Structure 1
Amino acid sequence: MSRLGLSFIVLVAWTSAFASPPQHTEVESLASPPTPFAVLREHVVGDVHHYRFDIRVGSTPNAIVRVHRVVRERAPWRSRSPTHAIMLLHGDFANFVTNFVPTLGNPASSAPGLAPYLAARDIDVWGVDRRWTLPSANGDISDLGEMGVDQELGDIAVALAFARATRPGDDRASSRIVLGGFSHGGELAYAYVAAGGRHVSALAVLDAYYDIAPEHAELRELACANAAAGREALAQGVTDSDNSFFIELGTLARSAPQAPSPVFSGYTNRGALLAMNGLTYLLAPYTPLYHLSAPILDAGGNVTALRESAEDDVSAWFASAPPHQSLRETVELDEIWCGQTPRPELANIRVPLFYLGAAGAFGDYGLYSTTRVSSTDVTTHVVRRFGPERVAEDFGHGDLLYAADAPTLAWQPLAAWLLSH
């Protein structure tokens, strides 16, 4: 049976379950483990609630499409019916909750979250977790090696079909959904729409590139080298690009900030977290001065504090990372950037496109991809505080999600575009 067919069978289970909804107003889990369908509901803020649906799509340990919805309710288990909707894809070392509803993370963050912000403005927010986010630290990862881009694009299709079928209304054409993605989630969103984009009405990419401009050949060469090294590791049987590095940085910065860091010699745990966020390009030069969080730098170029995002929110982002991540996915996404293997072409994209960049991260480097699509409706917005001479201190990648001013500088332009599309 196809996964799309299964998604509509699951819809029947959803409809039956909600015909007589439970009277709980907090977390409600209807099945554990989720076979073939489970739903969880939890309060976020005001009348905004978070739903999570686990749809089993196969027999392997992690063959589950985990779909999220953040929406206003008119009564318990009775959502409102926003006209506009978006499906958000998370980035690395994260899942939908930790990227977009961080107050529900573990540890919880005080950052209000993009998804509740949009939901409060009557935008129906959906999301889907990649399968590598599901297993616990000691969980079964025997199917991790299967978790590549093709599987992920299939899971996105299932999630979109489920969301469209669940949303009210008889006009299925008008119920199509904007597909959005942050970081590598943005690269996957590009790939999905370029490969056909079923169920998608428009595309919103948050700080990512897909095609690398010819004048930035060094970035393409880096992607090719990373892809080759990853392929060699896969050939040796490695499947887990685990997130213990991020978890340890975040956890230690929270529990013992002034203790010596076991990760970065010569730093305290707090200093290690600051350096990783503010000087990310030293380990991951996706752009020449790429950083996760805008730093405040001293005269020697050391990070003394974070300029935009609270340290507690950033450490929670790191500490709440899923334990595992698919190496195969990492390799295949690098191969897309490398451009040396067959891949969906951006010229196939004809739906409206919104690009939201961070000046200190992918930023302007992501603009080239927007020129490669065939759409005649392209809007770009790069959040920046400073001129090019201070890009090392400017708005960072994660600041789009966690900065105090993200609602004004990043989320409001996105919301306005969504409400007009």
Structure 2
Amino acid sequence: MSRLGLAIAVLVACTSAFAASPTRSEAEQLASAGSPFAVTREHVTADIYHYQFELRAGSTPNARVRIHRVVRELSPWRPRPTSHAVMLLHGDFANFVTNFVSALGHPASPAPGLAPYLASRGIDAWGVDRRWTLPTAEGDISDLGGMGMDQALGDTAAALAFARAARTVTGHAPGRIVLGGFSHGAQLAYAYAAADGRHVSAIAALDIYYDIAPEDADLQALACANAAAEREALAEGITDSSNSFFITAGELARSAPDAPSPLFPSYTNRGALLGTAGLTYLFSPYTPLYHLIAPILDAEGNVTAARESSEDSVSAWFASAPPHQSLREAADFDEIWCGTSQRPGLANIRVPLFYLGAAGGFGDHGLYSAARVSSKDVTTLVVRRFGPERVAEDFGHGDLLYAADAPALAWQPLAEWLLRH
């Protein structure tokens, strides 16, 4: 058996022997329902490899916790020891790979990926997929209705415990690790740190708000309306917030960019992709001019090209989306923004915080949440190209992950902060 395979066998069988191990209930949950885990390994670049662990967590069709690790190796199946580690939580219409190791996605993206970047700088990059990412388009989604924030928080705790124990048995530092997240993954990171946080040394929130500022009352009202509509749909038995729109937009932009779009008949498939990504506020106004990627606009306000991220990386991001997404999780997130959730608040967070925003995404609107934690160690950075008069064209939400200049403008400051925490 390989060194890592032996380490995982020891981890599963003897996890309670380690000070950094999961609690007994977590270990029992992960080891239930037959074979406790499966592991795969694939090359990313240079000496960096991606490991994927899939642990059983029950008997329902998608009762699995899928954990990822991107790390440099000393030799095959032998991770290079590091003193720093982060657990990254993905955003909507994505999973860990498509957000953070997108070169391994289907289709593959030309974007180099945040996780390999961090690994190359001596940071052990982990992640966990939410369960709604697991079923295929025709897969069994009978358990999708239970995939809310409570389940996601439990899986996050299990993944953090697994990562800490795995680092211990493979010669790494046994301490707590940083919990990071992008978009709704960052909202989940806030929620975990506020409610529990026992495995977490710090949090890194990429472009999100948790509490909405009083001056953004219209954004809060929108969240309340969305939460009410989502709860009504759930009561009617609807559980799937399908990602078919994103998948179709991405696939057609790649296969037939100049053909008329079935999504927006007055546009080509390329135009539909650019409009969706560059004028996102027209259907998802999380901020007044919120957009997924920075657009180049003509005199009429139409998107003519992508300013920061390549169209190849944007179309791959869309096309590689998981087919399903949990409506219950969306309702849980919106209730937090609405202010009607009973979950613990940001004042419970006392660990260091790094907020990294995009001027054309959540951007400055996320600073209010960062100011409401109890931590005395708070760092904020909003990546911007222009002044406030050009927010509509500025660095977009997804540009933090896919832009050509993301490594210099966003990833390097994040890595430097992680190496200090």
In structure 1, what is the Cα distance between the partners aligned to 2:373 and 2:289? Answer: 26
Kindly indicate whether residue 370 of structure 2 is the aligned counterpart of residue 378 of structure 1: no
C-alpha distance in structure 2 between counterparts of 1:34 and 1:49, whole Å: 28
Residues in 2 aligned to 1:171 and 1:375: alpha-carbon distance in whole angstroms: 31
Q: Hey, what does 1:19 align to over in structure 2?
A: none
Partners of 2:314 and 2:130 in 1: how far apart?
A: 21
Structure 1 residue 42 corresponds to structure 2 residue 42:
yes
C-alpha displacement of 1:153: 0.3
Q: CA deviation at 1:344?
A: 1.6
Q: Which residue of 1 is the match for residue 109 of structure 2? A: 109
2:105 maps to 1:137 = no
Structure 1 residues 280, 414: closer, same or farther in 2, change over 3 A?
A: same
- Counterpart Cα distance in 2 of 1:344 and 1:232: 24
Aligned pairs for 1:185-204 (under 5 A) are: 185-204=185-204
Q: Is the 8 A contact 1:239 1:326 kept in 2?
A: yes
Q: Which amino acid aligns with 2:385?
A: R
Amino acid at match of 2:191: A
Give the Cα–Cα distance (whole angstroms) in 1 for the partners of residues 324 and 228 of structure 2: 21
Between the aligned partners of 1:220 and 1:340, the Cα distance in structure 2 is 11
CA distance in 2, matches of 1:179, 1:395: 24
1:411 maps to which residue?
Answer: 411
Counterpart of 1:247 in 2: which secondary structure? helix
2:271 is the alignment partner of 1:249: no
Q: Offset of 1:84 from its aligned partner? A: 0.3
Structure 2 regions of 5+ residues with no counterpart? 1-7, 16-32
Judge conservation of contact 1:263–1:272 (CA < 8 Å) in 2: yes
Aligned to 1:100: 100
Number of residues paired by the alignment?
A: 397
Asked whether the equivalents of residues 34 and 54 of structure 1 are also in contact (C-alpha less than 8 Å), the reply is: no
Equivalence for 1:68:
68
Q: Matches of 2:42 and 2:34 in 1, distance apart?
A: 17
State the distance in 1 between where 2:307 and 2:166 align: 41
Query: How far off is 1:403 after superposition?
Result: 0.1
Q: Is the 8 A contact 1:167 1:175 kept in 2?
A: no
- Offset, 1:14: 10
- 2:38 maps to a residue whose letter is A
Q: Which residue in 2 is equivalent to 1:312?
A: 312
C-alpha deviation, 1:36, in angstroms: 2.4
Counterpart of 1:90 in structure 2 is: 90
Match of 1:27 in 2: none
Runs (5+) with no aligned partner, structure 1: 1-7, 16-32
Listed as ranges, the matches of 1:139-218 within 5 Å are: 139-168=139-168, 175-218=175-218
Contact persistence 1:169–1:175 (CA under 8 A): no
Aligned to 1:124: 124
The whole-number CA distance in structure 2 between the counterparts of 1:222 and 1:307 is: 29
**Secondary structure of residue in 2 paired with 1:242:** coil
| Whole-Å separation in 1 of the counterparts to 2:113 and 2:173 | 29
Question: What amino acid is the match of 2:151?
Answer: Q
Report Cα offsets for 1:112-164 as digits up to 9, x if no partner: 00000000000000000000000000001000000000110000000000000
Q: 1:284 to 1:60 in 2, by over 3 A?
A: same
Partner of 1:329, secondary structure, is helix
Counterpart Cα distance in 2 of 1:149 and 1:126: 20
* Shift in Å, 1:175: 1.7
- Whole-Å separation in 1 of the counterparts to 2:220 and 2:345: 16
C-alpha separation in 2, matches of 1:37 and 1:123:
24
Instruction: Report the Cα distance in structure 2 between the residues aligned to 1:172 and 1:150, rounded to whole angstroms.
Output: 30
Superposed CA deviations along residues 327-376 of structure 1, whole A, max 9, x for unmatched, are 00001100010011211200000000000000001000000001110000
Deviation at 1:172, TM superposition (A): 9.9
Q: Which piece of structure 1 moves more, 119-128 or 335-344?
A: 335-344
1:55 and 1:65 in contact (8 A); partners too: yes
Q: Which amino acid aligns with 1:300?
A: E
CA shift, 1:12, in A, is: 3.1
Kindly indicate whether the alpha-carbon contact (under 8 Å) linking 2:359 and 2:382 is maintained by their aligned counterparts in 1. yes
Other-structure match for 2:25: none
Classify the secondary structure of the residue corresponding to 1:257: coil
Q: Give the corresponding residue for 1:56.
A: 56
Q: Are the counterparts in 2 of residues 13 and 37 from structure 1 also a CA contact under 8 Å?
A: no
1:168 shift after superposition: 2.9
For 1:59, what is the secondary structure of its paired residue?
A: coil
**Amino-acid identity (%):** 76
3-state SS of 2:340 partner: coil
Alignment partner, residue 18 of structure 2: none
- Give the letter aligned to residue 299 of structure 1: A
Q: Secondary structure of 1:168's match?
A: helix
After the TM superposition, which residues 259-278 of structure 1 pair with which residues of structure 2 at under 5 Å, given as runs?
Answer: 259-278=259-278
1:17-28 alignment runs, 5 A limit? none
The one-letter code of the counterpart of 1:328 is: R
SS state of the match for residue 167, structure 1?
A: helix
- State the alpha-carbon separation in 2 of the partners of residues 360 and 138 from structure 1: 36
Whole-angstrom distance in 1 between the partners of 2:395 and 2:129: 26
Look up the SS of the partner of 2:168 in the other structure: coil
In the alignment, which residue of structure 1 is the partner of 2:394?
394
> Retained in 2: the 8 A contact 1:196–1:348?
no
